[in-house]
Chains A and B, each alone.
Chain A
Amino acid sequence: MTPLQIVFILVSLVTILSAIFVVSLRKIFHAALWLIVTLMGVAIIFALLEASFFAAVQILVYIGAIAIILIFAIMLTRNIMSDDEIQINRSWGIVMLLVLIFAVIFISQLSSSAVISTTLVPLEFQGQESIIAFGEGLLDPAGYALPFELASLLLLGALVGGVYIAMDKKGGENK
């Protein structure tokens, strides 16, 4: 076991444990807080994969923005479901069984394949090069220029749609 592997195992244990809390806790606000721990763990995993850009994006977008607006939305829709109520459908047993089967099949398939057991070594191109390559590819007309513009359209749709749906049309109802 190298130190790196120990770090990986610790981080993934924390990530999975907090993910389990996220789906099982009754208090939805606490679930959102544990979600932040999970996201932090995933960010560390990205850093271990040397995808620095995505590790930073994970912190910035997921923790700094998505988690915050999730908390805002939770505050906006409070008081309706009390936290003592059971938060899980009646069919949760069946779902659990199905998910377990799914996970077992997945993991057994993973550990049996040869390609997948290769070891990842640190990349030798570090620093800005990979980000420069990413930026060039993103704006290359022969590369991903069109998806890049379409992503902007998607975000435009989300912005306009979200504001239109959420805006208080009558006004003055909430304080």
Chain B
Amino acid sequence: MIPLSWYLILAAVLFSVGMFGAISRKNAVAVLISIELMLNAVNINILAFWHYHSQSLGYTEINGLVFAAVVIIAAAAEVAIGLAIIIAVYRLRKTVVASDINVLKG
């Protein structure tokens, strides 16, 4: 009942909003949040195409599901590590502004 393109447009808009945030926000946590938005947009895309393929094949197509699962696992790992790094940097240098973190040495 809902055209495939609607889902894709929604995903595209969400992705763009997330991209804007990821590039332009100063706070590193906010950058991570924006990346989460982008990953969610990707998942909408994947699952929309999964539905499309399942409906044309007539049985549950699993490639799309596995792909979406991998995206979620990657997102979880990324958040865990990313926030840990932000907290460690914050403890050493007392800043969470992404552009101030410009030296590799602690």
Contact = CB atoms under 8 A, between A and B. Distances in A.
Contact of A155 (B5, B25, B76): B76
Instruction: Say whether chain A's binding surface is mostly helix, strand, loop, or mixed.
Output: helix
B65 A77 contact: no
Interface residues of B, number: 72
A29 to B, nearest CB: 10
A117 B3 contact: yes
Nearest to B90: A77
Q: Is the interface of B mostly helix, strand, loop or mixed?
A: helix
B100 to A, nearest CB: 10
B105 interface: no
Contacts of A48: 2
Contact of B17 (A23, A61, A122, A133): A23
A45 B41 CA distance: 11
Given A8-B6, A54-B43, A173-B91, A70 B24 contact: no
Nearest to B22: A23
Interface residues of A, number: 88
Given A42-B43, A54-B43, A166-B88, A106 B7 contact: no
Interface in A13-54: 15-16, 19-20, 22-23, 28, 31-32, 35, 38-39, 42, 45-46, 48-51, 53-54
A73 interface: yes
B81 A45 contact: no
Contacts of B74: 154
B29 A73 contact: yes
Contacts of B86: 73, 77
Nearest to B33: A35
A102 B30 CA distance: 21
Contact of B81 (A106, A121, A165): A165
A159 interface: yes
Contacts of B13: 16, 103, 107
A7 to B, nearest CB: 9
Given A89-B25, A102-B19, A130-B54, 16 more contacts: A5-B1, A12-B10, A23-B24, A35-B33, A35-B36, A35-B37, A38-B40, A39-B40, A70-B79, A73-B83, A76-B90, A77-B90, A120-B1, A121-B55, A151-B70, A154-B74
Interface of B: 1-10, 12-21, 23-27, 29-30, 32-34, 36-37, 40, 43-44, 47-48, 50-52, 54-55, 59-60, 62, 65-66, 68-70, 72-77, 79-81, 83-88, 90-91, 94-97, 99
